[in-house]
Amino acid sequence: MNEGEIRLNQTTQEWVIYAPLRRFRPEDFQAQTNIEATVIDNNHNCPFCAVSEEIILEMHRKSSDSWQTRVVLNKYPALIPLGKPKRKTEGMYLTMPGYGSHEVIIEHPQHDRHLALMDLEEVETTIETYHQRYLALMADANNLLVIIFRNYGKKAGASLKHPHSQIIATSVVPQRRRWQEEAAQRYFDRLGECVYCDIIKHELETCSGRRIVGENETFIAFVPYAAEVPCEVWIIPKLHQADFGSITPKEKKDFASLLKDILSRMYYKLNNPDYNYVINTNARYKAEEPQVHWYCQILPRLTTTAGFELATGMSINPSLPEIDADFLNS
């Protein structure tokens, strides 16, 4: 079962990925029972400082001949592009091979060059790398969804300090994503408008920018009205755009500029917090539809998810979005 598989939880209708290449023996889990996991924070043991894997893509800064970003396969992938994603039944259960792809984007050759402190050209190169790999992975018709994400710090699930992001392509669409699509579809069917476009208009006009923390010609950044965690920020294109793959060169520059600005503010105002961000783009066959809209969601890890949240799926946020926006703008 080294190739892994994907099984459907019949009680929730949610898919679960089983990735044996990420864990080798059941006893491996015992080491983490009483010992807190640590982040490798020195370059002597860092696999990204001296890459030995095959390089899928290498990007250079315009002002330098040396590389800035490199893309490699994850050594411990959640999914791999082997076989075909054909479903089969096992009695009442449903399973399929763990088809997909799992890549690591090394964002900088310098071991401790945090994205929030990179110069704008370096962040632009990172976004360009995201875009090129997104398009390449979506060229495989078996991949239904491509997710780009960044885990920064121990609380966010990072195991290496070296600046990096990840990109995973899946042959199934997670139920959470379908719920979001369906909610957007119901809104559109009722009002004939994209809910995300209406949120942007509402934040800019009706709310007098109360929750807005950044803006440029093509993007807006704001603390969402129903933020799940303190200081959560969305960065979203002002014009309707369902697919991250459709982003233009001008939009890539504007996105990079606003992403750098927000991460820098979090770095200084929140004392360099652990965080996750994810580019929420839409599944194959939804990319040109008028009711869905891609955005980048930044989630600082300032609180801990506990039993109630796990049991209900509801978030408990101790901080009001309006207060968070004022703080980030101060």
Question: pLDDT tens digit string along 60-73?
Answer: 877 777 899 999 99
Q: How far apart are CA 164 and CA 75, in angstroms?
A: 14
At residue 71, what are phi and psi to the nearest 5 degrees?
Answer: -115, 130
Q: How far apart are CA 220 and CA 105, in angstroms?
A: 25
Q: Which two tokens stand for residue 122?
A: 């370096």
CATH fold for the domain made of 5-172: HIT family, subunit A (3.30.428)
pLDDT of 286 = 80
pLDDT tens-digit readout, 281-322: 989 988 778 999 999 999 999 988 888 888 888 888 888 999
CB contact set of 155 (below 8 Å; sequence gap of 6+): 274, 301
Comparing 5-172 with 187-329, is the CATH topology the same? yes
Domain layout of the chain by residue ranges: 5-172, 187-329
Residue with tokens 């990096």: 164
pLDDT tens-digit readout, 17-70: 888 777 654 444 444 444 334 455 566 778 888 877 789 999 987 777 789 999
Level-2 CATH architecture, domain 187-329: 2-Layer Sandwich (3.30)
Residue with tokens 């495989």: 140
Residue type, 176: R
Cross-strand pairs, 89: 94
Q: How many residues does the chain have?
A: 330
Q: How far apart are CA 221 and CA 235, in angstroms?
A: 4
